[in-house]
A and B are shown apart, each in its own frame.
Chain A
């Protein structure tokens, strides 16, 4: 079956540091890949997505590239801010047949703490 593995947290960085959160996946088909972010007390928000190999998703300074050869979708940001402190979830959707559910399979999440 499908699965997503994320690096364990918490990840603690100083403001303006470079961020990488690793994500690898196992899927039976050709999944689409997503990063969601969950700020304290809030629901999940879609951060970025990539739907095919070599696609790069980007949003709010975050980037992730769909690497089929390494089955990875690592999240990066060049300079983090205190406001980026949150839990980040990598997820995949493996819709092989049109009309079937694009249910998401999530990783366990990585907590990011950014300090001044």
Chain B
């Protein structure tokens, strides 16, 4: 069990550019979650996958955001035409299927928009 891995740890980009983050969950976990955390706040839910199916998306996930989990393993989160307000820590978590299985979090990707 190597834990949830996120890449990159930090991303600095100019406003208007596209960025993509990757998350590798714990290998036997079929549920994968994305959250966003801004300074001084708790994480906020963005979206959720069970295997390769994206089953729920938050209203926070605007049309500029897209997430995929093509083979039910790793996931990517892409932000198009980044804006200043997208600056945040993007957290990935994974869990086993089942009632109230605990979510295991990665260290996050910190996005800074210049």
Give residues in A with beta carbon < 8 Å to B. Answer: 4, 32, 34, 36, 41-46, 49, 51, 89, 91, 93, 95, 98-109
Contact = CB atoms under 8 A, between A and B. Distances in A.
Interface in B40-66: 40-45, 48, 50, 55-56
Contacts of B93: 44
Nearest to B6: A43
B106 A104 contact: no
A103 B101 CA distance: 11
Given A100-B56, A108-B42, 9 more contacts: A43-B108, A44-B43, A44-B105, A51-B100, A102-B101, A102-B103, A103-B45, A103-B56, A109-B41
Contacts of B56: 100-101, 103
Contacts, number: 65
A93 B31 CA distance: 15
B91 to A, nearest CB: 7
Interface of B: 4, 31, 33, 35, 40-45, 48, 50, 55-56, 91, 93, 95, 99-108
B106 A43 contact: yes
B95 to A, nearest CB: 7
A89 B42 CA distance: 7
Contacts of B108: 43
B95 A43 contact: no
Given A100-B56, A102-B95, A106-B43, A42 B107 contact: yes
Q: Which of B33, B50, B93, B100 has the most CB of A within 10 A?
A: B100
